[in-house]
Amino acid sequence: MTTSRPRRLVAAALLGAAAAQAQAQAQAQSIVALDAGHIRGVDGAQVDRFLGIPYAQAPVGALRWRDPLPVPKWDGVRDAARPGAACYQAQPASFGPYTGEFVDVPAISEDCLYLNVWRPRGAPGKLPVYVYIHGGAFNSGAGNVPVYDGAALAARGMVVVTINYRLGVFGFLAHPDLTHESAAAGARRSSGNYGLLDQVAALRWVRANIAAFGGDPDGVVIGGQSAGAVSVNHLLMTPLARGLFRAAVAESGAGIGIEALPLAAAERLGQDIGRQGGAASLAQLRAMPAAALAKAAARAPPRPASRFAIVELPLSPNVDGAVLPADASDPTQPVASPVPLLTGFNSDEYGLFGAPSNRAEFIKLVNERYGDFAAQFLALYPHATDAEARASTALIGRDRSLASLVLWAERRTESSGQEVFTYLFDHPYPTTPDGKTHGAFHTAEVPYVMGVLDAPGRSFDARDHAVSEAMQAHWTAFIRTGNPAIASQAWAPAGDQPVVMGLGDTLGPRAAVSTPQRMAAFRAFAAKGGKLSLF
């Protein structure tokens, strides 16, 4: 009996030492050494997160509308427990299907070039890396919007990175004086592609630092949705990003139909913004308060010139011949990085700009959009009643976006040899808190891919979680191998047949367009110079 107490004390001491050692190891794991200094993140049971990491200097003052510069080194350990500010934009607000999980951002500032990293707990190293670029029409959004949380994907055995990049007038103002300044500095003769240069800078940061989080610098895959997908397509084109990634994902998507302005047109817009703001010189433009500059640059929301025309986003990347040598909407243009591409659309994206409500409007819009081919399309899509016209509006919109996708993929593969894997996602997102349904709307697939099914006011059921599991399985396979096939479903790249992979509720290979005759009509329309797009 006299020896039991000392033994218990020794055992307790050993257990205490082991716990202290485990705690010390856990704390040590959350500190990462970067090329600019040390950061401390937040430990999780499965995933560690590191938020608000600067990847470039704050683009403020004299650095407004300049190429991003490396972050100066810092002493000590920088806290990485909270997100950095979102890039300057209008204050976000919910609208339509876009409740808080799709639009909420942290504080807004011009000092915004931050990124976020999620890694699996105890990451062994050489893990694949997924760098995600947010959407928002190049005018809104951030890497910290709730649906972009990377924890669930990281838990599947990868390192996930989300980024901010300059938006609107701060990221995409072109101006003759800025172009001259760029040429005089010996960099390049360009202006207006600062947000795209931010994305390249973030990828270079990833290349230099991701091994510290257990990621493989040679295993980087880029992805994005909407404007993020357009960004991905631009990054495929720019020689500045060559070698920084080995595959790409563009959700809504390749063939979206957003055309980049030529530099000269973007410069004219910049001059108009300067006049609107009363700035007679570049120095005065740089000195303008952010709110005043944003007000001077405000334009109407992006809408087609006619309701079925190609959309232009005035403050977005431009074709300057240097940063962006060619427009990514043209699949025949040279590609700097012809890596495997996963891309597609959702089944209910057609209503992004509204839809006709009756037969007369449907006929009018088909005539506006399809011109000499209008009679052929009207014969293929029933519209004898208002109800038929509304149903055909949805169907022709879906068919148009998928025809655009398929034709874009065919031409890109023919011109560059790039493998393109195409899909159609058709699972409806749960109803909004007021009970309205919007189907598989623009952006609806993002929470399923990221595994973020916890939005307040939405009711996710077992089917939602099964869809998310399948989507994550395909994305994980693609991020690891460059092919989205999984054991239960082969997936071939686009070829001669107009077929896409069905994801969501209709699974497996399916015809892209609802009938062969309709696909033939879209193909003939495009062959005669007709423009196809999501819109």
Residue 279 CA to residue 412 CA, distance in Å, equals: 43
Backbone angles phi, psi at 291, to 5 degrees: -65, -40
What is residue 365's DSSP assignment?
H
Q: How far apart are CA 271 and CA 339, in angstroms?
A: 37
Catalogue the E-assigned strands of 468-522.
499-503, 508-511
Q: Cβ distance 141 to 167 under 8 Å?
A: yes
Question: Catalytic pick from 175, 234, 427, 442?
Answer: 442
The answer to whether 84 and 52 are in contact (CB under 8 A) is yes
| CA separation for the pair 280, 296 (Å, rounded) | 13
Q: Which residue carries 């307790």 as its tokens? A: 12
SS3 of 408-426: the string is: HHHHHHHHHCCCEEEEEEC
Count how many Cα atoms sit within 13 Å of the Cα of residue 413 in the half-sphere of its side chain: 18
Q: Which of 349, 410, 419, 445 is catalytic?
A: 349
Element (H, E) at 48: strand 47-54
For tokens 């399809």, name the residue.
370
Measured in residues, the chain has a length of 535
Beta-sheet pairing, 159-163 with 127-133: parallel
Q: Are the CB atoms for 359 and 389 separated by under 8 Å?
A: yes
Report how far apart, in Å, the C-alpha atoms of 71 and of each of 35, 58, 202 are.
9, 8, 11
Contacts of 292 (CB under 8 A, 6+ apart): 277
Angstrom distance (rounded) from CA 94 to CA 134: 17
Helix (H) or strand (E) holding 13: helix 4-29
Alpha carbons 411 and 362: distance in angstroms, whole number: 30
d(CA 528, CA 430): 40
Among the listed residues 140, 190, 191, 226, the single catalytic one is 226
Catalytic site residue 349? yes
Tell which residue, 113, 151, 147, 102, has the closest CA to residue 130. 151
Which residues carry out catalysis?
226, 349, 442
